[in-house]
Structure 1
Amino acid sequence: MVKTLSSITMTLNKAFIFLVFFISMFSFDVQSQENLPLLEVIAQIENKFDVKFSYSVNDLEGVLVAPLQESETLKEVVDRFNDVTILSFKFLNERYITISTINKSISICGILISESDNMPLFGASVLIENSRKGVITDANGKFLIQEVDINDTIIVSYLGYQTKRIQASELRMLNENCKSITIQEKNEALSQILITKFLTAGLQKHIDGSTVLNTEKFGILPGLTEPDILQSIQALPGVESVNESIANINVRGGTNDENLILWDNIKMYHSGHFFGLISAYNPYLTDKVVVTKNGTSSEFSDGVSSTINMSTKNEINNQFSGGFGANLIHADAFLEIPISNSLALHVSGRRSFTDLLSSPTYDNYFERSFQDSELTSNSDNISESNRSNDFFFYDYSAKLLFDLNESHKFRANIIGINNNLDYTESYQENSGETNSKTSNLKQENLGFGASWNGVWTDKFSSELQAFYSKYNVDATDYRLESDQRLTQANEVLETGLKFKTRLKLNSNLNFLNGYQFSEIGILNETTVTNPSYDITKKDVLLNHALFSELEYKKNNTYIRVGLRGNYFQKFNKLIIEPRLNFRQKFSNTFALKLQGEFKNQSANQKIDFQDDFLGVENRRWILANEQTIKISESKQASFGFEFNQNNWLIDIEGFYKLVEGITASNQGFYNNFQYVNAQGSYNAKGVEFLLNKTADDYSAWVSYTYSVNDYEFKSITPSVFPNNVDIRHSVSLAFNYNILKNLEMSVGGIMRSGQPFTKPLEGNETVQDGNNIRVNYDIPNNENVDDFMRLDASFNYNINLSESAQATLRVGVLNVLDRQNIINRYYEVDPNDSDKAIQIDNKSLGLTPNVSFRINF
């Protein structure tokens, strides 16, 4: 029986080979009737017109041309050959014609199409190898490049798809006809790109609801002079910062410490330079940023509000490239250095020059950052001339890329972020001698990471990741008037290991499984002299997690179902987290989506206004102990629909989020609960609306978010009151327009409800609390500051310096109308009248211009 089956198989194989051979011969015969070898056609021309050609046979081998037509004259034939071949035909006289090879400049074009659904791909990069010359495909997937050498290689790349290399000669444009080019999706990801130009160029929306920021292709946003990662994501509905700080990004009513921030799989505990006003992550080596608000993959935990996953460029490019630039705050540079075909090094660095040179931009940022600190509100006994400060920041990153072969790739990373502030006070003693004392604040995050990706078969792959992250805030505050030194330290050390496998069950179904281990230790230390006081607290927590996930995509249905189990060894506690992400397309224009997730978080930030790091950075990380500080747990669900037609997008989504295990100490209350140790929760519910129109030359959008966000602390009265970030109404709108081919403008604005605050009790504004007098607050968060409004604008001008170098000049203005927005309001006891409270208003940035110039090569 086995022999019989084997014989049948061999017979079928032979029949198949014969059929393929027959079809190939038939196809060749048909093609031969259409195009003939040039050598054969030349012989026909010589006989018909009695002429002679002079040429090298090697130059003409393999060149095919259309057959000679009866009606064609000799000149018409020669002109046709000059047009359709890379050869040069020249008449020496009426009877002799020479044929030679030349380097021709041609025009190329193409239409890029996804192989999976035959849809055009907008925003793909089409570059000429070994040069900076290239274009982006339009809404129909079409591109056109003029003056291309016939021997050039064209590289076509698109996020989530396999890169394709094509010879320029294959894309030569003839009679306005362009060749269709199909590219395949990468096997490891089913999550397809749904919208290729979302809000602006370089922002894409995936079918799982996540938003991807591709920094290399990123357009401009109002007010920005560079693709600042954490500033840019605030263009998304439901993502904003109530105090303009990227160190305080609020996603659907959450606090900043509820965002999981990853840099090449390294968990980061610090996000901003200038203590929150500038992103600490250099965007020019960043390949993509994936922002997920709900329906997160079970691969990720922590971050009960969102996941911000940043990835640097991961492919080895044989061409040396890089860039450098500067704006009115800092200068930066990045390099991609190929060492061999399988080894490369990517490096970047950035440093402020504000300690050497001041600018209007720096002055505005400094005033905004330090308006509540000792730098601007010190004792009247120390004059302005006797106070000085020295502030600078820098960051750096490096990545080593090694490809053992096409199936096994190793990567190693390092990233460093540093902010440093020195503040000096001088005074003159009775003896006439001048004395000075310096306070210091240093904030830094150092991370190491490594990964190994192995593709074992077409269907099975694995990845091993490891990281180490260290975060420090160290402050020394020397106060002259009391001759007191306050030293503070907050240190976070985390080590993580993750192993995951991906199995492609079929063309529509992926199966993800993995294990993750993390060890986190947090230290808090405070030392005071005169009187002497010292306290140190250190906690360590180990977590083991298993996760599994099925992802299915076929035709109009997408579903991802996952489960994650987290075991906290110290507490002998198991937390189960289900995840759901579902999208159903009912027509070419309409789709429904449903998302849900459970998540947890064991480290949060405590806000302590008594020990406030010079008044600049008053947030310190603390670890859950399951007694006074619980592990935060969130439950979130969202439901909505999308309408997408003719580059119009309408996206409406309702959401509900409950976060339990928060404490009063990590909310930053300015009310009677400021020093109360209470545990509670908050729930945020609302709806997000987005209207977006994109075209080749412009894009415009308007988004509106309505939400209600309330606390509940059962042990205090009142137990329910508005959240500190309860922003009921938020509107953003913008318009981007390509004025010229290389000149782009962006104008936009933000309007939102004012932040809640608590007023003192009228007629009884202060109260005695032991030996201290404090503000006696009324109902918490019962008032709101005035609505926030800001108009921003940017211009971008590209200059082609050469085929391999391009310069970019950008001008941006934040708060064009110089509106004096109040972003926070609180009260202090009046030092001149202890029965009264004085009002303190924190104001936003005023009119703030910035200019950047950079060169990429």
Structure 2
Amino acid sequence: MKLNKWLVYILFCIGSITYGQNTTKKIPLTDLIVSIEKQFNIKFSYAVEDVAAIKIVKPNTAFTLQETIDYLNSKTLLNFKALDSRYVTVSVLNKTISICGVVFDEKKSLLVGASILVKDIGRSTITDETGKFKLQNIPINAILTISYLGFESKQFEANELFSAQNNCKEILLPAKNEELNQVLINVFLTPGLQKYLDGSTVLNTKKFGILPGLIEPDILQSIQALPGVESSNESIANINVRGGTNDQNLILWDNIKMYHSGHFFGLISAYNPNLTEKVVVSKNGTSAEYSDGVSSTINMYTKDVISNKFSGGGGINLISADAFLEIPIARNLALHISGRRSITELFKSPTYTSYFERSFQDSEINADSDKNDTSSDFYFYDYTAKLLFDLNEKHQFRANIIGINNALDYSERLTANSNTSQSKTSNLSQKNIGYGGNWKAQWNPKLSSHFITYFSRYNIDAIDYRIETDQRLTEANEVLETGVKLNTYYKTNENLNFLVGYQFNETGMLNQTVVSNPSYSSTIKEVLRNHAVFSEAEFNKKNTYLRVGVRLNYFQKFAKFLVEPRINFRQKLSNEFALKLEGEFKNQSTTQIVDFEDDFLGVEKRRWVLVDNKDIPIAMSKQGSLGVEFNKNKLTIDLTGFIKKVNGITASNQGFYNNFQYKNAHGSYTAKGIEFLANKTAAKYSTWISYTFSVNNYEFETFNPSTFPNNADIRHSVSFGLNYDINKNLKASIGGIWRNGQPYTKPVDGDETVTNGNTTMVNYDSPNGSNLNNFMRLDASFSYNFNFTNAIKATLRAGIINITNEDNIINRYYKLDSNNTDNAIKVDNKSLGLTPNVSFRVNF
């Protein structure tokens, strides 16, 4: 009996739930009108087109006629009015309405700057800092498209976004399925640094927190906190990734290949970080669409979204001043511009003095000249501009320009006696300018394409007039490169993407040297054309990420094919542990040679040259790495073993200071080691320590010995840091670097020089048989944010490099003693001493 009662009760509840669900179902208004007419024996007078598309929840059948009319008026944009007990008229209340919405992603994070476009009437807006938008006087049946870069667009009728209670509709935009490479770690070392599933490191400059010694989100400085990334001479123009040389890093700015990376000859990044939105750094397992850069790939992307809001900012530090603007021209057209210039002509700050001494310590600018009066004028600048045009939701066009310039004028006056004197002026100019354009097309939900074209020009020119010999030396190095790339993407489902593409590059290089007294001239021009086709598949589902690809390269001049497979695999083994495997074959057809005798005033010692497949072969790398990751409670531990072999290097591009300095040969280097990183983050702090152990050796078959340590063979390297949020607006960071000193070559004890005919040279011992003292540096920074108004925000930052003023030697070589050719003089290049810097920025 009790069982039957419970059964009846359960059935009653189910029936009630079913009935409740049915009452919330929307039905066509035309059907509801017919039902009401029968219920109350009345007639509605209306135009069919006014009600045909409207659906509504059926009102309570217990309502009176007036209650029913009131209900209809509250739930529609129509005016229901009873003329008498028999007739009810229906008319359109408003031809236009006000609408509002709040836009989220799938994780319920607000999407700030999402675009809202009203079709056919040319009205548009974007979401504000709360993810909200509002539009007034919008036609009832207007179609709105809501879109955000990297997310699927959605369309709505205006009446769907109207609410009689003035509540904004919540709108969720799902991520585009082709973006399978998801963020693995949101805060990596500091806010704004992220780690992706494929192992690449990403810097988001808008969210950048703070790192020791830095006052800007400079990616070329920031990545040196990562294991496996060093700068053996403390310069961003000489970043060594897993033992490679700087010219083995592929640098792209909005898909334009760049051949120059630094101001102040390597101490400051040449890329303004305030308009650069995202930077992706890959050490291994690179996508098949990229070639060159046998050591790493550094991709810089500027903001790519059109906003109807005028914004910008500016800043100044003890070296330079900069500004940027984002200018809306029309609803689908915008211009982004930026510029930066040194302020060293205005005053010589302690920062400038430290940088100047570091940059020119081993050049003619700082040469011993007791009898000479010297002066130098050095400045740099860079600029960017980007035009953004959205033809419609499916077609986007972008055009870019970037310019980088360093200039040095050096004057010297030689006094022969009290009555006569001579003067000379030498000049050095280093420039890189790039132009680019691209077209993104979404042909259908599954098929899209990206067409890229660019032109890059690099020049370094020097004129050096030598009073003592009445000799003028003119040097020039020029690179001209044109590139075209077409990527086609196809997604089969939400887990699997395919990429197929083609790339063409034409690279021309000129090297020129002209000498007067005695007269000598040399001009070498070379051109190389490369074609490539590539394809890859990317899969990401639950615990598995896999990207496999292959690239087929064809060198037209040599009629040579190279096949390059790529793999990037990550398997999550549990909630805490994951296994990762990366591998790639890559090639490089451009390189830099180092000429110590003919060296652009001693400031810049490198020239770009093209491979000839004989004396300078194509550099080819093979690299593999295997690692394990642990991630729990915001503690990340990463342990990776790697091996990399690069064939096709030459003695001339390694910058040897030993018996092989003037020899022509090509060989290889092999770097292998282990990288370790531990990073713990919390609400108020982030702390980390990284360690790299590696062994890096050259092999040149024609040399004796044939195997010896690489110039960048740094066996042990440690970096550490702590970021702490003192309060909401004040942040501090402290950290340091410790590593073994790099190798160098000593002269033979007791027999320091050797004479061959009329030539006397340093008689070197075993190549790279000694090491400099260990390098150690402690840095600190702090950052304070405050607002002038709700729209104008400011940041004050200060940083100190080498707080303890360590006397670090970063390079050592020997030269002949001009007073005694039996002796060799030791020359030490030193790192930056204590170097402070302060910046102040305002954004609006």
Pair in the same fold by TM > 0.5: yes
* Residues 1:806 and 2:807 aligned together: no
1:133–1:459 CA distance, 2 compared to 1 (3 A): closer
How big is the shift at 1:257? 0.1
**Contact in 1 for aligned 2:201/2:281 (Cα 8 Å):** yes
Equivalent residue for 2:711? 724
Equivalent residue for 1:847? 834
* Residues 1:364 and 2:351 aligned together: no
1:480–1:31 CA distance, 2 compared to 1 (3 A): farther
Deviation per CA, 1:716-759, whole angstroms, max 9, x where unpaired? 10000000000111111111111010111111111111111111
1:481–1:150 CA distance, 2 compared to 1 (3 A): same
* Residues 1:713 and 2:666 aligned together: no
- SS of residue matched to 1:835: strand
Deviation per CA, 1:345-372, whole angstroms, max 9, x where unpaired? 0000000011232100000000000000
Equivalent position to 1:193, from 183, 198, 210: 183
Equivalent position to 1:469, from 449, 452, 456: 456
Within 5 Å, give how 1:783-802 maps onto structure 2. Answer: 783-802=770-789
Deviation per CA, 1:745-781, whole angstroms, max 9, x where unpaired? 1111111111111111111111113322111110111
Equivalent residue for 1:742? 729
| Higher mean C-alpha displacement, 831-840 vs 289-298 | 831-840
Equivalent residue for 1:599? 586
Equivalent residue for 2:285? 295
**Contact in 1 for aligned 2:23/2:58 (Cα 8 Å):** no
* Residues 1:24 and 2:25 aligned together: yes
**Contact in 1 for aligned 2:24/2:57 (Cα 8 Å):** no
- SS of residue matched to 1:233: helix
How big is the shift at 1:24? 2.7
- SS of residue matched to 1:474: strand
Equivalent position to 1:219, from 194, 209, 219: 209
Equivalent residue for 1:91? none
Name the CA distance, whole Å, in 2 between partners of 1:149 and 1:560: 38
Q: Name the amino acid aligned to 1:415.
A: I
| Higher mean C-alpha displacement, 828-837 vs 745-754 | 828-837
Name the CA distance, whole Å, in 2 between partners of 1:563 and 1:816: 48
* Residues 1:253 and 2:243 aligned together: yes
Equivalent position to 2:419, from 425, 432, 449: 432
Deviation per CA, 1:66-111, whole angstroms, max 9, x where unpaired? xxxxxxxxxxxxxxxxxxxxxxxxxxxxxxxxxxxxxxxxxx999x
Name the CA distance, whole Å, in 2 between partners of 1:128 and 1:561: 33
How big is the shift at 1:435? 3.4
How big is the shift at 1:593? 0.5
**Contact in 1 for aligned 2:227/2:677 (Cα 8 Å):** yes
Equivalent residue for 1:491? 478
Deviation per CA, 1:429-459, whole angstroms, max 9, x where unpaired? 5583543210000000010000011000000
Within 5 Å, give how 1:619-630 maps onto structure 2. Answer: 619-630=606-617
Deviation per CA, 1:48-76, whole angstroms, max 9, x where unpaired? xxxxxxxxx99x9899xxxxxxxxxxxxx
Equivalent residue for 2:562? 575
How big is the shift at 1:300? 0.3
**Contact in 2 for aligned 1:128/1:134 (Cα 8 Å):** no
1:561–1:286 CA distance, 2 compared to 1 (3 A): same
Equivalent position to 1:338, from 314, 328, 333: 328
Equivalent residue for 1:14? none
Q: How many residues align?
A: 747
* Residues 1:585 and 2:572 aligned together: yes
Name the CA distance, whole Å, in 1 between partners of 2:282 and 2:606: 24
**Contact in 2 for aligned 1:132/1:804 (Cα 8 Å):** no
Equivalent residue for 2:87? none
* Residues 1:323 and 2:310 aligned together: no
1:419–1:21 CA distance, 2 compared to 1 (3 A): farther
* Residues 1:833 and 2:834 aligned together: no
In structure 2, runs of 5+ residues without a counterpart are 1-19, 28-54, 78-100, 116-124, 137-145, 162-168
Name the CA distance, whole Å, in 2 between partners of 1:461 and 1:350: 36
- SS of residue matched to 2:430: strand
Deviation per CA, 1:95-141, whole angstroms, max 9, x where unpaired? xxxxxxxxxxxxx999x774xxxx787xx876899999959xxxxxx
Q: Name the amino acid aligned to 1:510.
A: N
Equivalent residue for 1:266? 256
Equivalent residue for 1:232? 222
Name the CA distance, whole Å, in 1 between partners of 2:574 and 2:24: 39
How big is the shift at 1:214? 0.6
How big is the shift at 1:381? 3.2
Equivalent position to 2:635, from 621, 642, 648: 648
Equivalent residue for 2:763? 776
- SS of residue matched to 1:231: helix
How big is the shift at 1:30? 10
Equivalent position to 2:365, from 337, 356, 375: 375
Name the CA distance, whole Å, in 1 between partners of 2:26 and 2:170: 25
Q: Name the amino acid aligned to 2:353.
A: D
Name the CA distance, whole Å, in 2 between partners of 1:40 and 1:480: 103
Name the CA distance, whole Å, in 2 between partners of 1:157 and 1:852: 36
Name the CA distance, whole Å, in 2 between partners of 1:535 and 1:808: 52
**Contact in 2 for aligned 1:328/1:359 (Cα 8 Å):** yes
**Contact in 1 for aligned 2:105/2:175 (Cα 8 Å):** no
How big is the shift at 1:21? 8.8
Equivalent position to 1:241, from 216, 231, 239: 231
Q: Name the amino acid aligned to 1:699.
A: S
Deviation per CA, 1:353-407, whole angstroms, max 9, x where unpaired? 112321000000000000001111144332xxx1000000000000000000010
1:807–1:623 CA distance, 2 compared to 1 (3 A): same
Q: Name the amino acid aligned to 1:356.
A: L
* Residues 1:691 and 2:691 aligned together: no
Q: Name the amino acid aligned to 2:230.
A: E
Deviation per CA, 1:162-186, whole angstroms, max 9, x where unpaired? 699999xx9xxxxxxxx99965223
Name the CA distance, whole Å, in 1 between partners of 2:812 and 2:674: 27
How big is the shift at 1:497? 0.4
Equivalent residue for 1:482? 469
- SS of residue matched to 1:740: coil
Equivalent position to 1:313, from 303, 327, 337: 303
Name the CA distance, whole Å, in 1 between partners of 2:155 and 2:188: 27
Name the CA distance, whole Å, in 2 between partners of 1:442 and 1:355: 17
Name the CA distance, whole Å, in 1 between partners of 2:153 and 2:728: 26
1:274–1:851 CA distance, 2 compared to 1 (3 A): same
**Contact in 2 for aligned 1:330/1:351 (Cα 8 Å):** yes
Q: Name the amino acid aligned to 1:246.
A: I
- SS of residue matched to 2:355: helix
Name the CA distance, whole Å, in 1 between partners of 2:649 and 2:282: 22
**Contact in 1 for aligned 2:376/2:408 (Cα 8 Å):** yes
Name the CA distance, whole Å, in 2 between partners of 1:165 and 1:658: 52
Name the CA distance, whole Å, in 2 between partners of 1:61 and 1:21: 18
Percentage of identical aligned residues? 63
Name the CA distance, whole Å, in 2 between partners of 1:697 and 1:162: 34
Q: Name the amino acid aligned to 2:459.
A: N
Q: Name the amino acid aligned to 2:251.
A: I
Name the CA distance, whole Å, in 1 between partners of 2:429 and 2:22: 73
Equivalent residue for 2:496? 509
Name the CA distance, whole Å, in 1 between partners of 2:808 and 2:155: 52
Equivalent residue for 1:103? none
Name the CA distance, whole Å, in 1 between partners of 2:547 and 2:133: 46
- Moved beyond 3 Å, runs of 4+: 19-23, 28-33, 60-63, 124-135, 148-152, 156-167, 179-183, 378-381, 428-431
Q: Name the amino acid aligned to 2:477.
A: N
In structure 1, runs of 5+ residues without a counterpart are 1-18, 45-56, 64-107, 136-144, 171-178
